[in-house]
Structure 1
Amino acid sequence: MPGWPNVGRADDHRLLEALRQADAHAPASLYDAYADRLTDYAYTCLRDLDAAADAVHDAMVTAQSSVHRLKEPIRLRAWLYALTRFQCAARSSGRTATGAAPAVEEAEDPELSLAVHEALGELSRQEREVLELTLRHGLAPAEVSAVLGLTARQAAQRLTRGVDHLENAAAAVILARVGRAHCPQVSALLDSWDGPLSALLRQKLTRHIAGCEVCAEGRKKHVAAGRLLDLVPIMYPPLSLRRRVVDTCVNPDRDQTRVLITERADRFDREGFPVTAEFRQKRGRRAAPDRRRARGRRKVTPIVATLACVVAAAGSLAWVSGQDAAGSIRIEAMPPPSTQPQLDLPSDGSIQDPEETPAEIPSEDPPESSTAAPGSAPAVQPTPISQPRPTPTPTKSRTARPTSPALGLSCPGDIGDTTGDVIWLTARNAALSWTATVSGGATISARKGRLKAGATGRVTLTVSEPGEAGSATVAFRSAGGNPVCKVWWRGENAQTPPDGVPQQTTTPRAPSPSPTVSASPTPTVPAASEPT
């Protein structure tokens, strides 16, 4: 971009080393190299030059205080943009950036400049950020993904939509001047129209160009998104910002200010990039269904216990009601006893031997004598009929299964023609240490690390030879599992994936078979050779 200092990778390395060594001149050198770029980007997010200057000030103070968090010197530029975006997000609080149109009267083509500004305002926030970071600020696809927290595929999709919309809007202005003779529909839309295009007419032409092959060819000849962004004026920082940044970074009296600014960026990932509130909300939405399911399981347990108590009480009442208050015997119809012995199963699943029921012992007391009337038949005492006691049904108590640690992995798979992507790791249920090995035509940013319980980190994968198609396999080892991530890319010269690279079809995993409960009340006793 004209007017911006040209900072190379060697310059980034020298700046980072100066910051790490607490060089007093490092804040000024960092400001001179990146202040113009970061202020222009912050203005894109906030549409307020004063707020953009404050965001750049806090981002550079945070960079000087948190430079030890950055693991790779080659990613200094993307790291500074990420810090600036974090400060802008803290000031915008989720509101859409709105601002007045820049002064286009002094532009070489005021009508085209206004159309470009309106088209950029019609894009979503992420589409415009991807478009400007790639074409206006010159960041690589892997750097754009790291700044915005997107995968390479998501960033590429947003870039394609942004470029198409911007070029179609600009082509509507250009083809309205020179393309009427080539497309009858454009001529019909512009019939009896003279002068600058209105916003409504420009939108109609934009939608037409998106679906017209003739106008699409004209768009390729006359319009390029990179040159269109040059029509947007650069928003330079105020002159006083340099003095503010240097004073806050090196003045001993501003220690408290530095601490307050640094504490705002309280969360960083494994690569040293700040974690924005937007990423935290996404994780919260993913965790909400799990919390609801856990609450549902806690509610089911007391309901089952209550039903078991009701069934047991009903059985006790039925057994007590077999005798009336006078002690007379009432014979109830009982189900025929089973020919198989009935076993009690304990809650741990082991099989116990049935308890032997002791035989009834006749009473040793002599029967009471009674004087019978002469000639009368002796009274026959009724034989009491013993009722079998109902066997209480054992209830199995649910034992909470201990949660085992697990290492979650998010693999990008096909990264297309990009030069790299990000692999996300998550430590579930416990803190985990991991190691990684890579095979194939790629390198990774870290080969080992440690994650706290519930923490998420990322490992950057970089293609060694981006011009050729290839694949790579990254194998992780940890106490929570050994996941494997396989990625492949097409390269700039290859049209089909190389041999051995799987296609983009995913075979769903077969569900684990659920244990079946036998409908027969008689349990099966294992054979003598099986462990009990």
Structure 2
Amino acid sequence: MRGGGAPGARPGAAAALARGYAEGSAHGVAEVYDAYADGLFAYCRMLTGDGRTAAEILHDTVLIVRARADLLDGDAQLRALLYAVARSECMHRGGDHRSSALPQPAAQSCQVRRPGVVVLGFAVRDRGRLLPLIPVALAGVAAAEREALELVVRHGLDEAEAARVLDVSQRRVARLVDGARDQFATCLRVHSVCVHPEQECAELAVLLPGGVASGAAVPEPVDPALRVPAGLHVDSCPSCAPFVPAELAPEADQAGQSGRAVFAATVDALVSTGPPRPAPLSVRAELLRGTGPRAHRDAGHVLGRAVPAQRDGFPRTRRRRFL
């Protein structure tokens, strides 16, 4: 099964890539692509908002990691290296993606199904009402927090791997993920009230004047500046509070350590829900056969314009900030 939530390639994948690069063959490429391509494609699409650009970056990422695989100490860091290179290529081509809000198409494009993840704890009516709102609620999460949430929850990276990808400390990753859970839950609470057919709150309509509270099936994302006041309103308003799903209510997050764990698991199950969006098979074919438009580009050119590598193969970045 290809995908970010898959267990990964079999042992020896990094060595196989390095051997294939030394031999000038595609040895090891197919297994790595099949294990990680779906997740990498979804990640690149989230960062760039464009499927064609994401496919090109996926192609180049595999070429770059293939050339650097001999710098890895075994397979433990292979997945983190793939995501780190993909991220550096996205930023190298489009600048710092955090300078602007992620577009709505990007929010809809990053669905990655993790095996065994289901949405628990919601009544059937709430589940059907919430699922269409998940991409919109994700789009309301701040970019840095959302990226950490995507890596850890959707793609299944552990905090150590995500820290290498984002070039921050593991403590910073944990803070970002926790903050993203809170922001996502707030946005989803607001949206669940906005689209409920029985809610009629004039104050909410004034607070969210852009049509978010118009009862539309899929509203626009909540403006980050309005996320906190809108969340406080739906949590405290007598007209809105009854339509907030109990598992996402603030009380669920404040019921001690066990309550926080249940809250986090509920949010993670919701965030992980979505139809799979596979990576293009044409990219896989080009990497294996050496045919297609990208094959006419010199592989040396791809490696030459890539962000330079550190001794361990990871992209060289600005000084790490241990926050």
* Count of residue pairs the alignment pairs up: 268
CA distance in 2, matches of 1:89, 1:64: 20
- Partner residue in 2 for 1:404: none
C-alpha displacement of 1:205: 4.0
Letter in 2 for 1:18: A
* Residue 21, structure 1, aligned to residue 19, structure 2: yes
Q: Is 1:129 matched up with 2:129?
A: no
Deviation at 1:162, TM superposition (A): 0.7
Q: In the alignment, what sits opposite 1:217?
A: 251
**One-letter identity of the residue aligned with 2:172:** Q
Q: CA deviation at 1:99?
A: 4.3
Q: Give the RMSD, CA atoms, in angstroms.
A: 4.2
Give the whole-Å Cα distance in 1 for the aligned partners of 2:87 and 2:288: 21
CA shift for structure 1 position 174: 4.3
**Gap change, CA 1:37 and 1:61, over 3 Å in 2:** same
Q: Distance in 1 between matches of 2:38 and 2:2?
A: 11
- Spell out, residue by residue over 1:456-483, the C-alpha distance to the aligned partner (whole angstroms, 9 max, x if none): xxxxxxxxxxxxxxxxxxxxxxxxxxxx
Distance in 1 (CA, whole Å) between partners of 2:315 and 2:49 is 22
**What residue is the counterpart of 1:237 in the other structure?**
279
Q: Percent identity over the alignment?
A: 27
Q: Is the 8 A contact 1:63 1:83 kept in 2?
A: yes
1:15 partner letter: A
Q: Does 1:7 align with 2:7?
A: yes
- Report 1:258-269 matches (<5 A): 258-269=299-310
Q: Distance in 2 between matches of 1:20 and 1:194?
A: 56
- Residue 90 of structure 1 corresponds to 92
In the alignment, structure 1 residue 142 sits paired with structure 2 residue 160: yes
Structure 1 residues 181-200: Cα deviation after superposition (integer angstroms, max 9, x where no partner): 9xxxx989579x99458657
- Equivalent position of 2:78 in the other structure: 76
CA–CA distance in 2 between the matches of 1:266 and 1:174? 42
Alpha-carbon distance in 2 for matches of 1:231, 1:71: 34
Q: How does 1:362-377 map to 2 (within 5 A)?
A: none
Taking the aligned partners of 1:90 and 1:63, their CA distance within structure 2 comes to 16
Closer/same/farther in 2, CA of residues 21 and 127 from structure 1, 3 Å limit: same
CA distance in 2, matches of 1:15, 1:267: 23
Structure 1 residues 89, 4: CA separation in 2 closer, same or farther (over 3 Å shift)? Answer: closer
Instruction: Map 1:140-219 onto structure 2 (within 5 A).
Output: 140-174=158-192, 195-196=215-216, 203=227, 204-208=229-233, 215-217=249-251
Whole-angstrom distance in 1 between the partners of 2:163 and 2:236: 30
Distance 1:67 1:4, change over 3 A: closer
CA positional deviation for 1:141: 0.4
How do 1:447-526 and structure 2 match up within 5 A?
A: none
- 2:36 corresponds to which residue? 34
Counterpart AA for 1:238:
P
Q: CA deviation at 1:228?
A: 2.0
Distance 2:55 2:202 in 1: 48
| CA 61–237 in structure 1, closer or farther in 2 if over 3 Å, else same | same
For residues 94 and 44 of structure 1, what CA distance do their matches in structure 2 show? 13
Unmatched 5+ stretches in structure 2: 110-124, 206-212, 254-258
For 1:148 and 1:196, the matched residues in 2 are separated by 36
Shift of the 188–61 alpha-carbon distance from structure 1 to 2, 3 Å rule, reads same
Instruction: Judge conservation of contact 1:49–1:235 (CA < 8 Å) in 2.
Output: no
Look up the equivalent residue of 1:92 and give its one-letter code: G
Q: Please tell me whether the aligned partners of residues 116 and 169 of structure 1 are also in contact (alpha carbons under 8 angstroms).
A: no
**Alpha-carbon distance between aligned partners in 2 of 1:210 and 1:85, rounded to the nearest angstrom:** 37
CA distance in 2 between partners of 1:153 and 1:16 (Å): 28
TM-aligned CA distance change 1:120 to 1:229, over 3 Å: same
Distance in structure 1 (CA, Å) of the matches to 2:170 and 2:272: 25
* Equivalent residue letter for 1:123: V
- In the TM superposition, residue 94 of structure 1 has moved relative to its aligned partner by 2.6
- Cα distance change of structure 1 residues 209 and 71 upon mapping to structure 2, 3 Å threshold: farther
Contact conserved, 1:15 with 1:26, CA < 8 A, in 2? yes
Residues 24-74 of structure 1 deviation map (CA, whole Å, 9 limit, x = unaligned):
431122111111111011111111111101000000011112212223421
- Give the whole-Å Cα distance in 2 for the aligned partners of 1:227 and 1:275: 34
- Structure with greater Cα Rg: 1
C-alpha contact (below 8 Å) 1:136/1:229 kept by paired residues: yes
Supply the distance in 1 between the matched residues of 2:231 and 2:86 (Cα, whole angstroms).
33
Query: Which residue type is aligned with residue 40 of structure 2?
Result: L
User: 1:7, 1:230 → 2: CA distance?
Assistant: 15
Partner of 2:269: 227
Contact map agreement 1:56 1:84 (CA 8 A) in 2: yes
TM-superposed CA distance for 1:4, in Å, is 5.8
Amino acid at match of 1:270: R
Contact 1:142–1:152 (CA under 8 A) maintained in structure 2: yes
Measured after TM superposition, the shift of residue 256 of structure 1 is: 6.5
Question: What residue ranges of structure 1 are gaps of 5+ in the alignment?
Answer: 284-409, 416-532
Q: 1:206 to 1:24 in 2, by over 3 A?
A: same
1:324-344 alpha-carbon deviations (Å, 9 max, x no partner): xxxxxxxxxxxxxxxxxxxxx
Distance 1:74 1:57 in 2: 22
> Larger relative CO (CA 8 A, sep 6+): 1 or 2?
2
